[in-house]
Amino acid sequence: MRAHLGDQLVVEAPATGTARRDGEIVGLHHEDGTPPYDVRWSDTGEVTLVFPGPDAHIHHLEHGEPAAARAPVPDTHEAETVITVPRSAGTADPGAIGRRVGIERRRQGLSLVEAARRAVMSPDHLACLEDQPADPSPATLVRLADALGTTVAALRGGDMDLPPGQGHALLHPRLRALAPEECRSLLSTHGVGRVAVSSDGRPAVVPVNYEIVDDAIVFRTAPGSVAAAAVGTEVAFEVDHVDDAMSEGWSVLAVGPASVVTEPEAVRGLTRHAHTTPWAGGEREMWVSVRPTSLTGRRISPADQ
């Protein structure tokens, strides 16, 4: 049995030869189109991993005929022999898996169609996975991780309680300094960075959600917080990214004076145009601005790049 994306899997009642169930094949697990398949059933819309039995056949849409003549099935009145493998329960937030897939796809600059092609699945299936709670089969996760250049553990959130950098170093790494222009590009428009301050006479580093506004780094905090100790001092602000799968990464370090934003219209503008509220939650209405006087960075990559 061989199939293509979009073909229909039809399961017939052994006694009558009438269709009992059918669904669209939305995911392949082998390049040659052999089973198993990810099938979206027409009666429920649910996607399951299916190992077709002898009472199932493929309906090729381009031909409108079954792939091959089927041997007669004896009238045994037995149930269909399609085996569906249930998704694992309680090991990951189904909605979070789709969000991670979508975020990683966009980070890689891949369109829905290109990512689906690389993962050997239909674009509709990938869109459904990203937009709705779903728990893909292990084989589907392996293909998605390979297509997106990440790991199954990362897509499932299994590395949430581990620090980055668990992999081995590159065999031939290259460490190079980044120009200020590249540093600004990596800071992007917003993200999560770490501000280094002196609080109660002791050094402290805390993560904050930041925005880039007119070349300044701004973040929201609460008066009296550790991050608020930055005001009126020169601080260091660091942003980095680690690609565990490839053992690559970069870091950007900004140093400059920090001040509190007090002009009401400026505060309203920052609040209105912020990409997100602080992940830490709570009342954090104090905006702090860091205007870098020094901007440096480093990147680790393979020596041949």
Write the pLDDT tens digit of every residue in 209-220. Answer: 999 999 999 999
Scanning the structure block, which residue is given the tokens 């930041």? 210
Between 218 and 35, residue with greater pLDDT: 218
Tell me the residue type at 159.
Answer: D
Q: Please count the other Cβ atoms lying within 10 Å of the Cβ belonging to residue 265.
A: 7
Strand 37-41 relative to strand 47-51, pairing: antiparallel
Between 78 and 255, residue with greater pLDDT: 255
Write the pLDDT tens digit of every residue in 5-31. Answer: 888 888 876 555 555 788 888 888 887
The mean pLDDT value for 115-124 works out to: 89
What's the gap between Cα 183 and its chain centre? 24
262 pLDDT band, cuts 50/70/90, is very high
Cross-strand pairs, 37: 28, 50
Per-residue model confidence (pLDDT) at position 270: 96
How far apart, in whole angstroms, are the C-alpha atoms of residue 305 and residue 300?
10
Closest CA to 172 of 300, 259, 69: 300
How far apart, in whole angstroms, are the C-alpha atoms of residue 77 and residue 100?
45
How far apart, in whole angstroms, are the C-alpha atoms of residue 305 and residue 172?
11
Per-residue model confidence (pLDDT) at position 81: 38
The mean pLDDT value for 181-192 works out to: 94
The mean pLDDT value for 297-303 works out to: 95
Q: Is the pLDDT of residue 232 over 90?
A: yes
Q: For the ranges 20-24, 92-96, 194-198, which has the lowest average pLDDT?
A: 92-96
Per-residue model confidence (pLDDT) at position 159: 67
Percent of the chain with pLDDT over 90: 44
